[in-house]
Structure 1
Amino acid sequence: MRKEKLKVLLVEDDRIEVLKLQRSIAKDLDNYELTLATNGKEAFERIEEDMPNLILLDLNMPDTNGIEFMQIMKGRDELLHIPVIILTTSNNERDIHECYKLGIAGYVIKPLKYEDYEAKIKAIFRYWSLNEFLNY
């Protein structure tokens, strides 16, 4: 069992998507610490302030998109251990292939129906809360 809260960095520029995720985990906030960034540059600033256990990353963002963010991140040895889950509306096969090539831990397409979205988010958070790798 985890001793500390799961520290999650959400990199998302759409305020509605941020609110949806916050609502999805609201009942379990005792187990999670959520940090927000609206673009890649801000995400790297947040990572330097407090290293997350997990990054949830949107692909379509201003400044630095998700793939560019991953390319930069995977070039930094001190960040290679952080699992990244792509959380996006894109089901483009090229995006999916490129993200896995860059070493993501998962690719989740945001469903339109809120109940389906909430179920996916809770599953992600539950899984990574139980993952022993994050305890080290």
Structure 2
Amino acid sequence: MATTKHNLLLIEDDFCIGEKLYNSTKDLKNIHTVHLAVNLQEAKTRLMQTNYNVIVLDLNLPDGNGIELLKWLREKNKLVKVFVFSINIELKRMCLKNGADAFFDKSQDFDLLISEISNSLSL
């Protein structure tokens, strides 16, 4: 029985956080590819080129707010898990209302996020 391999898109403009996310996810079980986008435009380009199973989405990006991308994904009926990873916890309710599967606080939930990604890829 073949194991399904998954694609993961990390959308994060902070180099250090993006690198830590990438290094913490690239060797997870069932990962095929991990891509890192540093802004909304790059994320949309990648989303048009590759089907992703899981997206980690930062909200504060240089060319806009990640909630815009979340709404765009849901309008396109993309069946992808979206985990928002942000310091802006006051936006949690809005993210969940607009289709985020979960919200993780950047200041304390890094390990929880990685665990949730891993669990999602095991399905």
TM-score band, normalised by the shorter chain? 0.7 to 0.9
Q: Structure 1 residues 49 and 111, CA, compared in 2 at 3 Å: closer, same or farther? A: same
CA shift, 1:23, in A, is: 2.6
Larger strand fraction of residues: 2
Distance 2:84 2:101 in 1: 8
Match of 2:107 in 1: 111
CA shift, 1:47, in A, is: 1.0
Counterpart check, 1:97 vs 2:88: no
Displaced runs of 4+ in structure 1, greater than 3 A? none
Match of 2:80 in 1: 82
Q: Letter of the aligned partner of 1:37 in structure 2?
A: A
Q: Letter of the aligned partner of 1:64 in structure 2?
A: G
Distance 1:2 1:126 in 2: 18
Distance 1:8 1:37 in 2: 11
CA contact (8 A) 2:3 2:30 kept: no
CA contact (8 A) 2:11 2:37 kept: yes
Aligned CA RMSD, in angstroms, stands at 2.0
Q: Letter of the aligned partner of 1:123 in structure 2?
A: S
Q: Percent identity?
A: 30
CA contact (8 A) 2:87 2:105 kept: yes
Q: Structure 1 residues 29 and 128, CA, compared in 2 at 3 Å: closer, same or farther? A: closer
Match of 1:126 in 2: 118
Q: Structure 1 residues 30 and 105, CA, compared in 2 at 3 Å: closer, same or farther? A: closer
Question: Gaps (5+ residues) in structure 2?
Answer: none
Distance 1:30 1:123 in 2: 12
Larger helix fraction of residues: 1
Please, what TM-score do these two structures have when normalized by structure 1? 0.79
Please, what TM-score do these two structures have when normalized by structure 2? 0.86
Give the number of aligned pairs: 122
Asked which structure has the greater CA Rg, the reply is 1
Match of 1:134 in 2: none
Distance 1:19 1:124 in 2: 18
